[in-house]
Structure formats: C-alpha cells, structure tokens
C-alpha cells in the first residue's frame, strides 16, 4: 500500500505547488462552505483547473464542505455538491449529518470523508460511519497510536491522520469559545482564534500566574514518527495549513515526501519553516501538561546564532546556521522581542556577501545597543528552489485530411486532435518547424513539457498563430479529459421518521452528587449523570441503563435500540440533520446551543413541513455553557496539579472569566463565566422544545434546588410574567444573536 501524503491549499497557486512538490492529494475549499472562511480559497474555475492537473498527475483533490449548515443554506449546499461532482472532485470532507446523508444518497463515485470536526476517536466511532457507507474518516487529533492500531486491526475504513501543523486545544467540533465571544462560529469556519490570546490562572480568588498563552497549542510534528505510521498502514498523512502561505506548504510537502520515500532522510528544514514550538501530540501520548507552550504563540524561528559585538552600524554575528540578505531575524532582550531585516552582509575583511554560513558582519534596518542571541524568522531563499516534476509528452505533428494534427499516447490512450480549419499554402512566408513549436510549447500553466516531437508537416503551409494556439489548447484539454471517468449520481429520497409525542418537561444534567440529590428531591424524572451518559470525548461503551445521554457516534453505534438522547456536541443545526437522527430511531435530539430562537422556530417548522411529523427536541436553557472540552490541562501545565481536587480554578482575561471543571479522568472543561438563563423566555421556546435541559456544573445543592424549582414553576405558569434573569451574572447567549 502506498501511503497518501495530503497537503493543504488556500489558493490555486498553493494547490499547484503542493502537487508538484510531492503531495499525492490536496484538500482545499472554494469560496463557500469550507471550515477556513478566512483563507483565500479557490474559485470554481480554479478548482476545475486544479482537478484537471491532479487527474493527469494521477493525484487527487478533496474539497472541504465541513461547516454546519443552517436550514436556509441546505439547498445551496446540495447544488454546490452537484457542481463538485460534475467537476470530478475525488471526495468531499464533511461534518454536518445532513450533508453526509445527502452525499451518501446522491453520489456513486465522489467519496464522502468524515471531517475531524465530527470527533472520530475510537474504533466504535469508525464502525458507525463504516456501517452507513462513508469512505474515509479523518481521526481526531486526540486519538493515540494504540487506538489507531486497534482500528486498523478491526475495520477496513481508510484512516487519515494529522502529522504536521497547528493544533486546536479543544476537541474539534466541541469549541464554542469563538461564537460566545464574537458570534463567529468555529463550527462554521469562522474561528476568531481566542485560544491564542493571553490568560491568567486564578486559584479561588487569587491570580496565580501572569498573563500567558495558556490555551495556545504547540505545533504538531511527526516527521520522526512516519515509519511507525507507515508500518500501521495508515492510509493518509495530513498536513494542516490552509491558512499558510505557498512557501510553508511546498517546503513541508517536499520535506515529508523525502522522509516517506527514505526512512533515513534527516533535515533541519522544519526548523526553518514557520512553527510554534513542536510537539509529538496526543498521537504519540504527549504529556497533557506539556502540549501548550507558555513562551510565545507565534513563530519560534530557527536558532541562528549570536550577535557577539555591536560596532556602530555593524554587528558581528557568530553563526550556527546560514543566513542571507533579506532574512528577517528576531532578537529578544529583557523579554521583549525586536525584529530586524538583514540588509547587508560582510566577511571579516568587510567584503560584501549575499549569504554566509560562517561568522560575519551585518547591517540591519534598525539599531541595537547590546549583544544577544537571535533567530531567523523568514525562510531562506534556497527554499524557493523546488524541482518541477512535470509530465513528458512525445507528440507527432502531421497533416490529417489537410488539417494540422497533433497526436500522442497518453494514459494508454491515443489522443488525436486536428485544427478546425484546413491548412493553406503559403502565399508569402511559409511557417517553419520553429514557428509551430514556439506556439505548441507554451505549456507553462500545465503539468506537461515537450520531450520529443516527430515533425511531419510540409514546410510550404501557412496557419494563423491564433489557430495553432487553439489547436494546442484543444490538445491539452483532450489530455485532461482522457483522465476523467464519469462521476455518477442517484436520485435522493428520504424516509419519514415516526412522530414523537410531545412531553414538555424539565430535565437535568449533573456534575456532582449534591446536584443529583437536589433534582431527585424535586421529582425530576430525567437526570443525566456519569452513570447514564457518555460524553463527546469518552471511550464508547455499552451502558446498562436504558435511558441514556450519548455524546459520541461510537456510543450511538453500541447502544442501538435504547432510549437515547443525543448530547449537544452532535451540533444538530438543521431539519435534515434532525431527520437523519430520528430515522435512526433516536428519540430525543439536543439542538446546537448556537442556534437563536428564530432559527429554532424555523428548524422546527421546516422539519414539520418536510416530514409531516413532529420531532422531539431538547434545548439547554440553563447552565455555565461548556465552551471547550480539553484533553490538555492548563492547571497541570502551570504546576498547580492536583489542586483541582480542593480548589476552584478559572482562566481570566482582561474582560471575562472562564471556570474550569474536571472529570475523574482529568478531562478539563472550559465554561462560560456567566450562566445561560432563558427562564424568562421559556414561553417563547415552549412550542418547539419538548425537554428543557438544565446543566449543572459547580452549583451547590442549595443553588441547584432553587434553580430547578424556579424552572418547574415557570413551566407550569408560562403566562405568568417573571423576572429571574440577573444581567450581571447571567447571559441569554444566542437567544437573539445569530452566529455567522
């Protein structure tokens, strides 16, 4: 098996560079529906061109369609998928159950790949998607090598694994920090990167750290572990970076290509490329407290040496690695970063240099008062030089039916293309062999080059240059088309799920035994605890209880036939996703907490119209909303472990506080400091929601009992005006605020 090297591309040019630098496949997005909305991305015309090039190179193009869809976007997305299929895209990488379901029903040849946003972490998660017919899963970055081995031994599902690039500190698909702060939903491709900001750790009521990048993950680097992944027969190795530039992508691809082809290959190239501090990640069991760098959030750079002496405008450099004119360097003095450009280099005799790999003098565009170590921030110019691996063409030029004709054998097929017009005898000056070849050889924007030309044309002909150019274009297009097979489609139909009887009630999810006690004393029938719920990040298992809360696909797979409520991380965002799950006999569906009241109303009505049956929706109306689910622990990283057993911890920035709570397995949850409280709006949600869920985290017994009692009272007296909302301590979150 040949392992696939999968490269990112945020533009057409980067996609092209990735392909010719050694990638077997490229993943990208066009200007819509990809989970990197702020990348440049490709136009559909550019996508069409890059697919053609990939096909003749025997490589693949995957398009990300991995944002959560809203109801009014579904028709547009489905039309878009049809366009992608018509362009011969090899596969889509997707998240939303509605999109997954439609694509599986519609397309025969275009593959459906499950995005890392879905959170596939265990064999049982894979089994769910294997059963419904998807062709690949992109594993969560939290999956470790032992679980990958288990999956490969028990499933035929192709696996895609991240090997290099930026990491999300939260489990993908379970981060809502961006949307709660800025209304830019990370699950819709608009993450505002709040994890890269500075936070301080508060223990009880005291700040115990300075402001640090406590949530800023190091960059993943599995260069030295590729052999292990190859031996496990992982199907695709994925480089992160659709927001990165051309230099970054092509050099990473080239470096990983060489390592894949030669296990003994070593290089310091990865130090020259933009990176934060590197980590082997959870893939190879990195310590939970050592996966975030507290030093800096940006580029580390390559250690290049020391500025040993300062002499007016010249600085004597004691070098560890090569530098050249134009390189940008960072100098750190008294914890302050200073940046300069190298504008001149000289040897010891003050002779000018373009580059140096020995001690030298330099001139910079600024002034330093003291010596210091420095690092190179820019890639050196040698990184621009990458061999172009293009396709040789052996062509024949001759007359066929009095028309100038090009023929070749390509992909074991004979390609013959003739000019539209017959050639005429030259009246004045006939065309030479060089005249023809000058136009035919204009292949700069193609993966081809002329290797051999069998020239059989008489030298007494004339043909306009425009016609020769048209002949060349038609010939190249024929080469592209010869690589295509038809992408087939099926008609899409949906089963109608059963109707669910409405049973308006308050349900609760508890974190402590005291909260459970309070709920039972108030006769709450549905109480979810760790005994009857399986969170998003937990290993799937069969639960003894019949009535369970399920947060991951693996547990859904293992607990078929039970009375299941889907948890919030399934991110049900539209009526077709709800239809998909209700057709799986799931009785209660927790809606995406990012939905506004208006969007919930539309979702309910669209479901009702489409299915002619009523759904059973759950919505969280109270709680310190879970904004991140972390395998990493900021408390451990700052040296305060195991303080969480006895102390209260929060992350704070200049304006907000984010409490931290933990499970027994040290999973960390970052909460919103202000509790969601929709009690005064319960009557507005009442027509569309069956179960109003209260989520308790660190509330006391007394607080829990008071809150439940208030909601029970409101549910039984909907029309009674109440004023329970505390503006200083509580939030209505997305009630009237739509995410983008």
* Cβ atoms < 10 Å from Cβ of 311: 8
Which DSSP letter does residue 572 get?
A: B
Question: Is beta strand 236-239 parallel, antiparallel or unpaired with respect to 4-9?
Answer: parallel
Q: How high is the pLDDT of residue 358? A: 86
State percent of the chain over pLDDT 70. 97
pTM above 0.85, yes or no: yes
Mean of the per-residue pLDDT values of the chain: 93
φ, ψ at 49 (rounded to 5°): -70, -40
Q: How high is the pLDDT of residue 1? A: 62
Q: How high is the pLDDT of residue 66? A: 92
Q: How high is the pLDDT of residue 388? A: 54
- pLDDT 10s digits, 612-643: 999 999 999 999 999 999 999 999 999 999 99
Q: What does the pLDDT average to over 233-262?
A: 94
Checking if the pLDDT of 54 tops 80, the result is yes
Q: How high is the pLDDT of residue 380? A: 41
Beta strands in 192-335 (DSSP E): 200-203, 206-207, 219-221, 236-239, 278-279, 302-311, 314-319, 323-324, 328-333
Q: How high is the pLDDT of residue 672? A: 98
Q: What does the pLDDT average to over 43-60?
A: 96
Q: Which residue has the higher pLDDT, 246 or 233?
A: 233
Which segment of 11-20, 267-276, 277-286, 686-695 scores lowest on mean pLDDT? Answer: 267-276
Q: What does the pLDDT average to over 491-514?
A: 94
Q: Which residue has the higher pLDDT, 32 or 248?
A: 248
Question: Is beta strand 278-279 parallel, antiparallel or unpaired with respect to 302-311?
Answer: unpaired
Checking if the pLDDT of 59 tops 60, the result is yes
Q: What does the pLDDT average to over 699-722?
A: 94
- pLDDT 10s digits, 646-664: 999 999 998 899 999 999 9
One-letter-per-residue 3-state SS of 443-481: CCCCCEEEEEEEECCCCCEECCHHHHHHHHHHHHHHHHH
Q: What does the pLDDT average to over 681-689?
A: 97
**Cα–Cα distance measured from residue 213 to residue 313, given in angstroms and rounded to the nearest whole number:** 35
Q: What does the pLDDT average to over 431-452?
A: 93
Q: Which residue has the higher pLDDT, 508 or 326?
A: 508
Q: How high is the pLDDT of residue 385? A: 41
Q: What does the pLDDT average to over 23-32?
A: 94
Q: Which residue has the higher pLDDT, 37 or 722?
A: 722
- pLDDT 10s digits, 327-376: 888 888 877 778 888 999 999 888 999 999 889 999 998 888 777 778 77
Q: How high is the pLDDT of residue 106? A: 98
Q: Which of 506, 504, 503, 502 is nearest to 709 (CA)?
A: 506
Q: How high is the pLDDT of residue 377? A: 62
Q: How confident is the model at residue 501 (pLDDT cuts 50, 70, 90)?
A: confident
Checking if the pLDDT of 389 tops 70, the result is no
């Amino acid at each position: 098996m040949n392992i696939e090297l999968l490269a990112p591309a945020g533009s057409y040019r980067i996609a092209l560079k990735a392909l010719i630098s050694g990638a077997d496949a490229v993943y990208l997005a066009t200007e819509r529906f990809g989970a990197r909305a702020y990348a440049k991305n490709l136009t559909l015309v550019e996508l069409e061109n890059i697919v053609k090039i990939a096909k003749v190179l025997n490589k693949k193009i995957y398009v990300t369609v991995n944002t959560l869809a809203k109801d009014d976007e579904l028709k547009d997305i489905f039309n878009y998928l049809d366009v992608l299929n018509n362009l011969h895209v090899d596969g889509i990488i997707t998240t939303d159950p509605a999109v997954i379901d439609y694509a599986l029903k519609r397309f025969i040849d275009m593959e459906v790949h499950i995005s890392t946003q879905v959170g596939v972490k265990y064999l049982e998660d894979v089994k769910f998607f294997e059963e419904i017919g998807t062709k690949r899963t992109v594993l969560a970055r939290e999956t470790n090598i032992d679980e990958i081995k288990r999956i490969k031994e028990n499933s035929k599902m192709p696996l895609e694994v991240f090997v290099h690039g930026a990491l999300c500190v939260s489990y993908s698909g379970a981060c809502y920090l961006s949307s709660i702060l800025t209304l830019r939903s990370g699950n819709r491709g608009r993450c505002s990167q709040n994890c890269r900001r500075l936070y301080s750790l508060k223990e009880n009521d005291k700040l115990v750290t300075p402001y640090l990048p406590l949530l800023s993950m190091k960059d993943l680097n599995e260069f030295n572990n590729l052999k292990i992944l190859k031996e496990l027969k992982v199907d695709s190795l994925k480089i992160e970076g659709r927001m990165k530039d051309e230099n970054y992508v092509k050099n990473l691809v080239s470096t990983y290509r060489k390592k894949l082809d030669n296990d003994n290959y070593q290089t310091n190239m990865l130090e020259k490329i933009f990176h934060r501090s590197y980590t082997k990640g959870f893939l190879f069991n990195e310590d939970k407290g050592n996966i975030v760098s507290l030093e800096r959030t940006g580029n580390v750079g390559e250690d290049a040496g020391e500025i040993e002496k300062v002499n007016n405008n010249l600085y004597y450099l004691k070098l560890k690695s090569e530098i050249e004119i134009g390189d940008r360097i960072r100098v750190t003095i008294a914890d302050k970063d200073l940046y300069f450009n190298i504008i001149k280099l000289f040897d010891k005799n003050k002779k000018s240099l373009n580059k140096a790999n020995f001690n030298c003098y330099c001139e910079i565009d600024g002034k330093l008062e003291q010596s210091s170590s420095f690092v190179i921030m820019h890639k050196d110019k040698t990184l621009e030089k990458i061999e172009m691996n293009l396709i040789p063409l052996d062509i024949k030029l001759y007359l066929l039916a009095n028309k100038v004709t090009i023929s070749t054998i390509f992909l074991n097929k004979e390609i013959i293309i003739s000019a539209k017009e017959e050639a005429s005898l030259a009246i004045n000056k006939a065309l030479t062999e060089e005249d023809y070849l000058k136009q035919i050889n204009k292949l700069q924007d193609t993966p081809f080059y002329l290797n051999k030309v069998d020239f059989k044309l008489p030298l007494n002909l004339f043909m306009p240059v425009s016609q020769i150019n048209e002949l060349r274009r038609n010939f190249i297009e024929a080469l592209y088309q010869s690589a295509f097979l038809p992408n087939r489609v099926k008609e899409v139909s949906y089963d109608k799920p059963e109707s669910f009887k409405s049973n308006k009630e308050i349900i609760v999810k508890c974190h402590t035994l005291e909260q459970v006690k309070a709920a039972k004393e108030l006769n709450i029938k549905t109480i979810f605890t760790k005994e009857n719920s399986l969170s998003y990040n937990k290993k799937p298992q069969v639960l003894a209880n019949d009535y369970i809360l399920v947060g991951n696909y693996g547990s859904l797979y293992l607990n078929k036939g039970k009375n299941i409520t889907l948890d919030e991380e399934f991110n049900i965002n539209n009526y077709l996703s709800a239809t998909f799950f209700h057709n799986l006999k799931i009785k209660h569906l927790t809606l995406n907490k990012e939905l506004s009241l208006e969007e919930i109303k539309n979702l309910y009505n669209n479901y009702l119209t489409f299915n002619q049956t009523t759904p059973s929706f759950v919505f969280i109306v109270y709680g310190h909303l879970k904004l991140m689910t972390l395998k990493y622990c900021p408390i451990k990283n700052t040296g305060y472990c195991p303080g969480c057993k006895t102390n209260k911890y929060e992350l704070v920035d200049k304006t907000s506080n984010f409490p931290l709570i933990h499970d027994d397995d040290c999973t960390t949850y970052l909460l919103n400091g202000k509790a969601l409280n929709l009690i005064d709006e319960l009557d507005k949600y009442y027509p569309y929601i069956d179960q109003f869920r209260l989520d308790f985290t660190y509330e006391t017994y007394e607080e829990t009992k008071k809150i439940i009692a208030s909601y029970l009272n409101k549910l039984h007296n909907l029309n009674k005006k109440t004023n329970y909302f505390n503006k200083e301590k509580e939030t209505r979150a997305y009630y009237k605020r739509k995410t983008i």
